[in-house]
Amino acid sequence: MSVPGLARGIAVLRLFRRDRAMLSPAEICSELDLPRSTVHRLLTELIDLGLIRRECDGRYALDSGVLTLGFEYLASNDLVALSAPILEELRDRTNWSTHLAVRQGTRALYLSRYPAQAAVTRNVVVGSSLPAHATVMGRVLLSDLEPTELQTLYADGASLGGGQGVPASLSELQRMIDVDRNKGYAAADGFFESGVIAIAAPVRDMSLKVVAAINAIHAGVAGENMTAMASAVVAAANAISRLLGAPAQMPVVPHAFEGEEA
3-class secondary structure for 197-209?
EEEEEEEECCCCC
**2: pLDDT strictly greater than 60:** no
Count of domains forming the chain:
2
| Mean pLDDT to the nearest integer, 91-111 | 91
Distance of alpha carbon 189 from alpha carbon 26, whole angstroms = 42
Sheet of 22-23: strand order equals 22-23, 60-62, 52-54
Give residue 258's pLDDT. 39
Which of 3-12, 195-204, 233-242 comes out lowest in average pLDDT?
3-12
Write the CATH number for 196: 3.30.450.40
| Mean pLDDT to the nearest integer, 138-157 | 87
- Name which of 150, 196, 152 is nearest 176 in CA terms: 150
- Name which of 26, 90, 95 is nearest 60 in CA terms: 26
Half-sphere exposure of 100 (CA within 13 A, CB side): 27
**4: pLDDT strictly greater than 90:** no
Residue 225 included in any domain: yes
The reply to whether 78 and 178 lie within a common domain is yes
Most confident stretch, 79-83, 87-91, 253-257: 87-91
Residue 112 included in any domain: yes
Identify the H or E element spanning 61: strand 60-62
Distance of alpha carbon 251 from alpha carbon 237, whole angstroms = 13
Q: pLDDT digit string (tens) for 149-206?
A: 988 888 865 557 666 677 778 888 899 999 999 999 998 876 555 677 889 999 998 8
Distance of alpha carbon 94 from alpha carbon 209, whole angstroms = 28
Which position has the higher pLDDT, 128 or 223? Answer: 128
The reply to whether 177 and 56 lie within a common domain is no
**255: pLDDT strictly greater than 50:** no
Question: What's the pTM?
Answer: 0.66
Residue 174 included in any domain: yes
Please report, as a single letter, which amino acid is at residue 117. Answer: Q
Spatial CB neighbours of 3, under 8 Å, sequence gap ≥ 6? none
Domain that holds residue 87: 69-243
Write the CATH number for 44: 1.10.10.10
Give residue 23's pLDDT. 94
Average pLDDT of the residues of the chain: 82
Distance of alpha carbon 187 from alpha carbon 199, whole angstroms = 4
Confidence class for position 72, pLDDT limits 50, 70, 90: very low
The reply to whether 29 and 115 lie within a common domain is no
Residue 200 included in any domain: yes
**27: pLDDT strictly greater than 80:** yes
Give residue 50's pLDDT. 87
The reply to whether 209 and 142 lie within a common domain is yes
The reply to whether 15 and 111 lie within a common domain is no
Residue 170 included in any domain: yes
